[in-house]
Amino acid sequence: MRWLLAALLVGCSIDANVARIPVVVEDAGADTSTRCPQRAGTATMIDLGTFCIDATETTRAQYAAFLASSPTNVAGSACATNAFGPHAEGEGCSAEELDLKRDVDHPVVCVDWCDAAAYCAWAGKRLCGRIGGESEPFDDVGAQNDATKSEWFAACAGQGAPRKYPYGADFVAGRCVDSTVGKTAPVGSRAECHGPPGTAEAAVYDLSGNVYEWVNSCQAGATADPLNQSCLTRGGFFLTADTPEFAWSACAVAAPGTSVRNTKPRGRSDDHIGIRCCAR
């Protein structure tokens, strides 16, 4: 079924430029340096100094262009048996969520970790992980909440005194795509859901809400089947970004004093997990 979906998409005529939707960048100093890979038809990358990160989550149209290119599985031996998504088996993965011609500017969902890693590699990027390009140790919550070590946390929380939310210290309902919307929304469409003005992070959108994002942090050797090994997701999604158990923070990987994190098996695909890439 997965290969059938991919084959059907390959046969379609897909304009990769559909994915290039307008994004309001409120910080005129945002750095889109040539040190960052800028592949046409993928999310614009923002230079945060020690690494680059996509300004927005990967859209359905962008992922469809990837499938139409007849990609190969470049995500390593752990993904050797994976077929490219979107996958129907995941939670909430209805026909509407699998239709990449629908809501083309919304984040792609129902993709597993292997799909996300392969997409980022195809785009000349990689999944966000440890600063320097390596994977994040799966059990090291401290490193995952350290802006000098974790790319995703550094983009969301910033340097210095970490922010609880990408936009600041205090939660603001509806500022990002949360339960006031109740579903995914076009990437970058919440004009204030970004880092504070005057910083490079001001050009990075939707780190809170819309959909969770796979990162390069997986539990090695926990099960015989690599697709069943747990991997980390970050950022919250449209139904949890403002609920009491998640409202303490969007940037930290776990609530202070706890080790509760949102992890899923590498081969899991749900209607609230998507893709964002890093580089350098």
Q: What is the mean pLDDT of residues 162-174?
A: 86
Distance between CA atoms of residues 85 and 88, nearest Å: 8
Print the SS3 string covering 74-135.
CCCHHHCCCCCCCCCCCCCCCHHHHCCCCCCCCECCCCCHHHHHHHHHHCCCEECCECCCCC
What pLDDT, on the 0 to 100 scale, is given for residue 8? 31
Residue 33 has pLDDT above 80, yes or no: no
What pLDDT, on the 0 to 100 scale, is given for residue 257? 65
88-123 pLDDT per residue, tens: 988 999 999 999 999 999 999 999 999 999 999 999
What pLDDT, on the 0 to 100 scale, is given for residue 102? 96
Q: What is the mean pLDDT of residues 130-155?
A: 94
What pLDDT, on the 0 to 100 scale, is given for residue 2? 37
Residue 252 has pLDDT above 50, yes or no: yes
Top-level CATH class of 1-280? alpha beta
What pLDDT, on the 0 to 100 scale, is given for residue 114? 95
> Which DSSP category does 41 fall into?
T
Q: Please, which pLDDT band fits residue 146 given cuts at 50, 70 and 90?
A: very high
Residue 170 has pLDDT above 80, yes or no: yes
Domains of the chain, residue spans: 1-280
Residue 257: CB partners within 8 Å, gap ≥ 6? Answer: none
Rounded to two decimals, the pTM is: 0.86
Sheet hosting strand 126-127, strand order edge to edge: 45-47, 52-54, 277-279, 126-127
200-228 pLDDT per residue, tens: 999 999 999 899 999 999 998 767 889 99
Return the closest-CA partner of residue 97 out of 279, 264, 266, 274: 274
